[in-house]
Chains A and B, each alone.
Chain A
Amino acid sequence: MSATSNNNGATPLLAATGLSKLFGGVVALDKLDLQVFANQILGLIGPNGSGKTTFFNVTTGIYPVSAGRVVFDGQDITNLSTQAVYRAGISRTFQRSRLSLALSIFDNIMIGNHKRLNQGLWFNLARRDAFRRQFEESFEEARELVQVFDAPLADRMFEAIGGFPMIDRRRIEICRALVSRPKLLLLDEPSAGMTQEETTELMDDILEVKDRFQGLTIVIIEHEMGVIERITERCVVLNFGQKISEGAYQEIARDRLVQEAYLGIE
């Protein structure tokens, strides 16, 4: 296989080996071998139902695996709880935005900051001065993060996110995933439900974030081939839960198997 040769034998940050997931009789992931290398943006593509989101859900512990192993940063994270996966340094966004629309921008971002905030009852209720310091520090941090995406948004931190358009919700969802400084960010179709211009804007933001956070690795599920071509360094193509191709965008676009899967060429 060409997987390791692409990266001169470097150890991958995330490696799935023989990963399978069955829902009853339906095979969502079929002995998948997939590697994600540090500091890269990996595009995960494939037709609907090919297992992309299932791969995210299995990796982050939402579903238990049926067979196989997932290793992240030297640690076996197969079947760890979602909480443990998050603590290990993997954050994600969701295909259908899962923000809490009734809460403010700041609150939503702080949900993502859970592991870095003091969650003790005594600290939160009795030591209000100490809590206030942590609150103010976290606020500054969150505001700086939002500013990377959109400066005007950073002045509206205490407004309910439900009142903002889709692109802002996506931005905040990415901020929520980034605020805890994860090593690996999983983006599940961030352009869904947005216009062409909004998508371009959001991708600029993502590239800027990648520049700012040294050492951030991203896996992005995306249907817009223009987006994939522009921002990814490597792609993995899934079909029926199997990897059918991988490599740089230009390589996989020429791959006959990929064309068949997407265009239905016999």
Chain B
Amino acid sequence: MTAPQDPRSLAWTIGAAIVVVLYVILLLGVESQLEIAGLLAAGIAAVAVAARFGVVARLGRFLGERDGLLNALVVAGTLAVTAFFHGDAFVLLLVATVIIYFIACLGLNLQFGYSGVLNFAGAAFFGIGCYTAAVMTVHTAVPHLLILFAGGAMAAAIGSILILPVLRTYSHYSAVITIAFGLLFKIFLEVNDALGGPQGLRVKGMNVLGWKFNSNIDIGGIEVSFYVNYIVLGLVLLALAFTFVRRVERSWIGLNLDAVRLDETAAACFGLNITRWKITAFTLGNFLIGLAGALFAMMLGFIAPTNFTFGDSLILVSIVLLGGIGNPWGLVVATAILIVVPEKLQAIQEYRFLLFAAMVILILLFRPEGLLPRSLRTYFPGWRAK
């Protein structure tokens, strides 16, 4: 059975989506620091009021049973914002960055949100993807789309070595191992001349069958920033990654990962091979993080070790904590907040880590399941027992 028709809720949802898109356009468009601060405050107040009157809950219930609609709205909204800012490189870079970070956080969510394997080396696996792209675009003739997957595969392969010590330790200790790995990775890059040392490496832009992603496009006399290319490709990859993560969650695999996270002993008593499922989550997650990294490197055209610090890993972890552990949709909201707000609100740029830390503490204290808490598993949205 499918979810029942509900035209009023549908109208409300589309209305809400339009309001959100207009708000995002407004937020990205204004320049004055005061106006941005005012808009942010207004946004928070509007969400609070909507939540107070049950609008948020109602939308959540409605969309919860209609996955496809939500996906379509998000893609359409992103394209609308992109079209509006078609010539504004700064804004489009932000949009593309949010998309790419979202993909990486989906990977982290598989690891930490589902199987409970902490990974404080997210930026390192992202960096492995970046450096793979740098080396392969410059030194090989491998098609660039394949290089994206090579970046993911490389991150997954190196992750499968790191998982060995992680599996031999528990909770905090395994977290410390991933922290150490993240630090080692950056130092390794800095002293390794073949990989450019501290100066970093140049990366060739994406080139698919002669379609050069890094040149601006001219459509009937209108100049369109080249970032649009990356936004479109990013959205395609995001849709694939999102579907993949959703299917993992809505299968016995997702159930196994949850069981491992929640109670290893009980899981083992029902035949679950704890090691197998932790490795599965860690490897698949690193693949997504590396894939995102490879795309990011091609977009920036230049990478250096300073892009992959422990601080960057912490941002990735904060996104997962803030968004709602285990909820892919929570990640959209959290990624947007953590990437866009400091870029727009230059005044807090210097203090952004302070602000992130404060946000994470507040969330953990008052809403430990995140801004958009994960809901119970539905294997098939809208499915009803006969």
* Contact flags B252-280 to A (C-beta < 8 A → 1, else 0): 11011011001101111111110000001
Contact A94 B266 (CB under 8 A): yes
Contact A107 B270 (CB under 8 A): no
Given the known inter-chain contacts A104-B376, A125-B244, please indicate yes or no for A111 contacting B266, CB distance below 8 A. Answer: yes
Contact B272 A83 (CB under 8 A): yes
Contact A103 B377 (CB under 8 A): yes
Contact B271 A114 (CB under 8 A): yes
A196-249 at interface with B (beta carbon < 8 Å): none
Contact A82 B268 (CB under 8 A): yes
Contact B271 A100 (CB under 8 A): no
* Contact flags A128-170 to B (C-beta < 8 A → 1, else 0): 1001100100010001000000000000011110000000000
For B252, B263, B267, B380, the residue with the greatest tally of chain A CB atoms inside 10 Å of its CB is: B252
Q: How far is the CB of A75 from chain B (nearest CB, A)?
A: 16
Contact A103 B258 (CB under 8 A): yes
Contact A111 B255 (CB under 8 A): yes
B197-215 at interface with A (beta carbon < 8 Å): none
Contact A100 B258 (CB under 8 A): yes
For A60, A107, A143, the residue with the greatest tally of chain B CB atoms inside 10 Å of its CB is: A107
Q: How far is the CB of B318 from chain A (nearest CB, A)?
A: 22
A80-105 at interface with B (beta carbon < 8 Å): 81-83, 86-87, 91-92, 94, 98-100, 102-104
Contact B265 A111 (CB under 8 A): no
* Contact flags A23-40 to B (C-beta < 8 A → 1, else 0): 000000000000000000
For B253, B268, B269, B280, the residue with the greatest tally of chain A CB atoms inside 10 Å of its CB is: B269
Interface residues on A, range: 35 or more
A112 to B259, CA, bound (A): 10
Q: A176 near B: Cβ within 8 Å?
A: yes
Residues of chain B contacted by A159 (CB below 8 angstroms): 376
Contact A86 B266 (CB under 8 A): no
15 extra A-B contacts, CB within 8 A, seeds A100-B266, A103-B262, A119-B252: A60-B269, A82-B271, A86-B269, A86-B270, A91-B269, A92-B269, A100-B263, A111-B270, A115-B271, A119-B256, A131-B252, A132-B379, A132-B380, A158-B378, A176-B270
B: which residues have CB within 8 A of A? 244, 247-248, 251-253, 255-256, 258-259, 262-263, 265-273, 280, 376-380, 385
